[in-house]
């Protein structure tokens, strides 16, 4: 083999190896998620959630993470098609009560987060998420939403959804929600936990007691997003004209099953608010 030919062969081999790396990683991640399903099988079947669900959280000096593991009553292909779609993610993100707006474009999501029912959308905090389909094979899905900055000193927002198919037309999904924070974020969270969030609890148990504080808060947020994904998937079973109302009511019904953690407002207030916000989502992007 001549030197030019040998050089071209090495270059082609290197390129082939680089192309193979994502597939190898996806295979490893699928195996890890399948092992996690085996590890959590008893907890998924025997719990107080009235569904196959497991929630945990972690807290460090400058970051929080909430993890939801769940069996979805939807086939893998349906889950994969939905979670690869940035517009579907906007429909999902808009269901929690404090999301005021979402617009998908150019590989990202422009999201507005607020608190008040009657808050003008322009006054809600804007978070720009980068959307990435990290893996989408026949046996493994991974989608990521990342944002560098968030409200009141929070940063490094990461939403990661991964899933594998199960027997019987079901899907096992892991949803991870995390963010970092500095001094301003700690102060803001402390103020919330001593006022509006004082009576709130999380979903996991610490020494036989419900998790509270910042871990409880991150678990509540992760649960809201998981329930939003499930409500979105459920809405695909009805004609398109009925889907918005279906997912709004499904999400509210699901949230109200956990009132100590997730109740925020009455049904009429929530439904009216979300109908308006879904209508606004169809308009041009906000600056």
**Closest listed residue to residue 31, CA positions, set 39, 43, 42:** 39
State the Cα angle at 248 between 144 and 202, rounded to 5°.
65
What pLDDT, on the 0 to 100 scale, is given for residue 20?
35
Q: Give pTM, 2 decimals.
A: 0.87
Mean pLDDT, rounded, for 168-173: 98
Tokens representing 201? Answer: 């609890």
Mean pLDDT over each residue of the chain, to the nearest integer: 86
CATH (domain of 162): 3.30.530.20
* Percent with pLDDT over 70 in the chain: 83
Question: Does residue 1 lie within any of the structural domains?
Answer: no
Range(s) of the domain holding residue 255:
8-281
**What percentage of the chain has pLDDT greater than the value 90?**
66
Domain total in the chain: 1
Whether 181 is in a domain gets the answer: yes
Q: Is residue 276 situated within a structural domain?
A: yes
Q: What is the mean pLDDT of residues 269-280?
A: 93
Tens of pLDDT, residues 75-130: 999 999 999 999 999 999 999 999 999 999 878 999 999 887 778 888 899 999 99
Beta pairing partners, 249: none
**pLDDT higher at 7 or 244:** 244
219: Cβ contacts below 8 Å, ≥ 6 apart: 55, 56, 57, 66, 202, 203, 204, 211, 261
- Within 93-242, strands assigned E span 99-105, 108-113, 125-136, 141-149, 154-166, 170-181, 205-206, 209-210
Distance of alpha carbon 72 from alpha carbon 261, whole angstroms: 21
Report yes or no on 233 lying in a domain: yes
Give the residue ranges of DSSP H helices in the chain. Answer: 3-45, 76-83, 86-93, 183-194, 213-235, 243-255, 259-262, 267-281
């Amino acid at each position: 083999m001549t030197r030019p030919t040998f050089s071209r062969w090495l270059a082609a081999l290197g390129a082939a190896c680089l192309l193979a790396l994502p597939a190898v990683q996806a295979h490893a991640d699928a195996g890890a998620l399948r092992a996690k399903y085996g590890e959590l099988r008893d907890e998924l079947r025997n719990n107080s959630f009235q569904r196959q669900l497991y929630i945990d959280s972690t807290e460090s000096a400058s970051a929080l993470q909430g993890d939801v593991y769940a069996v979805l009553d939807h086939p893998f292909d349906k889950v994969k098609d939905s979670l690869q779609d940035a517009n579907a993610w906007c429909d999902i993100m808009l269901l929690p009560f404090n999301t005021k707006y979402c617009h998908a474009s150019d590989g990202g999501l422009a999201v507005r987060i607020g608190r008040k029912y009657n808050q003008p959308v322009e006054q809600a905090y804007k978070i720009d998420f980068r959307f990435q389909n990290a893996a989408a094979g026949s046996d493994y899905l991974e989608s990521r939403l990342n944002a560098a900055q968030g409200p009141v000193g929070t940063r490094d927002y990461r939403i990661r959804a991964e899933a594998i198919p199960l027997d019987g037309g079901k899907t096992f999904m892991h949803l991870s929600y995390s963010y970092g924070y500095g001094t301003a974020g700690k102060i803001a969270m402390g103020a919330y936990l001593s006022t509006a969030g004082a009576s709130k609890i999380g979903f996991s148990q610490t020494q036989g007691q419900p998790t509270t504080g910042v871990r409880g808060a991150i678990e509540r947020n992760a649960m809201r997003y998981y329930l939003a994904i499930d409500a979105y998937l459920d809405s695909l079973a009805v004609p398109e004209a009925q889907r918005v109302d279906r997912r709004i009511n499904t999400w509210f019904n699901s949230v109200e099953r956990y009132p100590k953690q997730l109740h925020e407002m009455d049904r009429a207030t929530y439904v009216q608010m979300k109908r308006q916000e879904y209508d606004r989502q169809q308009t041009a992007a906000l600056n």
